[in-house]
Amino acid sequence: MKGDISPQLAAGTLMFTGYADDYLQVNQTSYGSGISIHQGKLNDNWGPERFRDISIAHLAPLSEPAPEVLILGTGRLTTFPNSDILSYMAERHIGFECMDSRSAARTYNILVGEGRTVSAAILLPGARK
């Protein structure tokens, strides 16, 4: 039995199409800074350049309305935010995943392809702590 198993995505769905240390690419457009995607909208002026500068203020706009999952791409290495940020996400019942930015981009695409409600905040893959 043959069948098409590719996801049926709406036209214009934001998907990561490439990355390097100094850019993220969404739908074939490159961005030279960290970006966020929430509610089908991309923000290329999202916030911090380094992981250590991430605060609740940067993530709060991505929690209303709450996605099922918020993926945080932490740059070159997987790093976890402070307990205040973790508590903030838990109180809002938002699945919160931290991973290096390359993995975050791939995971975002997989979850979107599954039809999940997912948001992402991703630092440049080459970003350091």
For residue range 23-77, what is the model confidence (pLDDT) as tens digits?
999 999 999 999 999 999 999 998 888 888 999 999 999 999 999 999 999 999 9
Residue-wise pLDDT for 73-122, tens only, equals 999 999 999 999 999 999 999 999 999 999 999 999 999 999 999 999 99
Residue by residue, what is the 3-state secondary structure of the chain? CCCCCCCCCCCCCCCEEEEECCEEEECCEEECCCEEEECCEEECCCCCCCHHHCCHHHHHHHHCCCCCEEEEECCCCCCCCCHHHHHHHHHCCCEEEEECHHHHHHHHHHHHHCCCCEEEEECCCCCCC
Q: Which fold has domain 34-122?
A: Hypothetical Protein Mth938; Chain: A, (3.40.1230)
Residue 9: predicted pLDDT: 72
Model confidence, pTM:
0.90
Residue 2: predicted pLDDT: 59
Residue 4: predicted pLDDT: 46
Residue 3: predicted pLDDT: 54
Can you give the residue ranges of every domain in the chain? 34-122
